Amino acid sequence: MRFFSLVCLVVMTILVGCDQATLMKKMTPPEAESAAKGYLDLLQQNKFEEIEKDLDSSIKTSNIRDTLVQMAQMVPSSKPASIKVVGSHVLHGSGFTTTNITLEYQFQPNWLLINVATQKKGGVSSIVGFNVTPIPDSLENINKFRLAGKNPLQYLVLVLAILIPLFSLYALVLCIKTKIEKRKWLWVVFVLSGFAKFSVDWTTGQWGIMPLSLQLLGAGAFAPAYGSWVISISLPLGAIIFMLKRRGLKQQSSTEPFVQSNSEKEDWLDGMEK
């Protein structure tokens, strides 16, 4: 079990490919990060008027002050132990730019996710979204890949995500070695393809199905920065059909048509006349 866990962790580490903090730093506009931190500071100091004057009319409701007060009550008055950008998205539209920043604050012993969405239009920036969400631990630790404590469906999908690519690769090797007279490359592509997709969230256990989907080697794993791993499997239909038809394909390619030479035909006709 330890070896299996080590293999999974190595594979996931390779898939991540780079440090998450570095990736987020490159994706996040510095001015947007600074603005998001500034609004949280105002909330922590109960300076609600300063926040309200920057609110977009779409979210400035009659009870917005009560909402801000409730949000402020979730933020400790102490200095945060750490602040980390865990989400960043910039949308450029026609005449406007929307920036969505999510910050992870660590207070002792609390953790908070602060989401601030701002929209810049005509040189004027306004807040179009502002949320405070308590979380039990850091996102990195919550979504860390671990084998313990998962449900049977998650374990089944993980095992199949390992076995299906191995089966597809085995079928691919046989396909390459098998003498197929016509359009062998189509068989190769068919064997490599997985059809439909069943995905499971490794952190929450939630699952979903995409009937119209193709997946290389019939399995995959993906995790956004600081997000949970999503493991997906597909039906290796091409590999299955090839394995079922392989013997017939071999027999078909090994069967050569009988061709009789002219001299043999003449000898046969002479024998018939005699």
Per-residue confidence (pLDDT) for residue 264, from 0 to 100:
53
Beta carbons of 199 and 230 less than 8 angstroms apart: yes
Mean pLDDT for 80-109 is 91
C-alpha span between 3 and 263 (Å, rounded): 69
C-alpha span between 21 and 87 (Å, rounded): 10
Instruction: Please state the three-class secondary structure of the chain as a single string.
Output: CHHHHHHHHHHHHHHHCCCHHHHHHHHCCHHHHHHHHHHHHHHHCCCHHHHHCCECCCCCCCCHHHHHHHHHHCCCCCCCCEEEEEEEEEEECCCEEEEEEEEEEECCCCEEEEEEEEEEECCEEEEEEEEEEEECCCHHHHCCCCCCCCCHHHHHHHHHHHHHHHHHHHHHHHHHHCCCCCCHHHHHHHHHEEEEEEEEECCCCCEEEEEEEEEECCEEEECCCCCCCEEEEEECHHHHHHHHHHHHHHHHHHCCCCCCCHHHHHHHHHHHHC
Is 12's pLDDT higher than 80? no
pLDDT-above-90 percentage for the chain: 57
C-alpha span between 269 and 220 (Å, rounded): 66
Sheet holding 111-121, edge to edge: 82-92, 96-106, 111-121, 124-135
Q: State pLDDT tens for residues 151-172.
A: 999 999 999 999 999 999 999 9
Closest CA to 250 of 179, 187, 182: 179
Q: What is the mean pLDDT of the chain?
A: 84
For tokens 């405070």, the residue is 132
Is 39's pLDDT higher than 90? yes
Beta carbons of 171 and 188 less than 8 angstroms apart: no
* HSE-CB of 2 using CA atoms within 13 angstroms: 0
C-alpha span between 232 and 157 (Å, rounded): 7
Separation of first and last alpha carbons in the chain: 81
CATH class held by domain 16-141: alpha beta
- For the chain, the structural domain boundaries read 16-141, 152-254
pLDDT-above-70 percentage for the chain: 83
Q: Is the dihedral of CA 20, 225, 10, 140 positive or negative?
A: positive
Beta carbons of 39 and 131 less than 8 angstroms apart: no
Is 98's pLDDT higher than 80? yes
The partner residues of 237 in beta bridges, in order of sequence, read none
Q: State pLDDT tens for residues 181-221.
A: 778 889 899 999 999 999 999 999 999 999 999 999 999 99
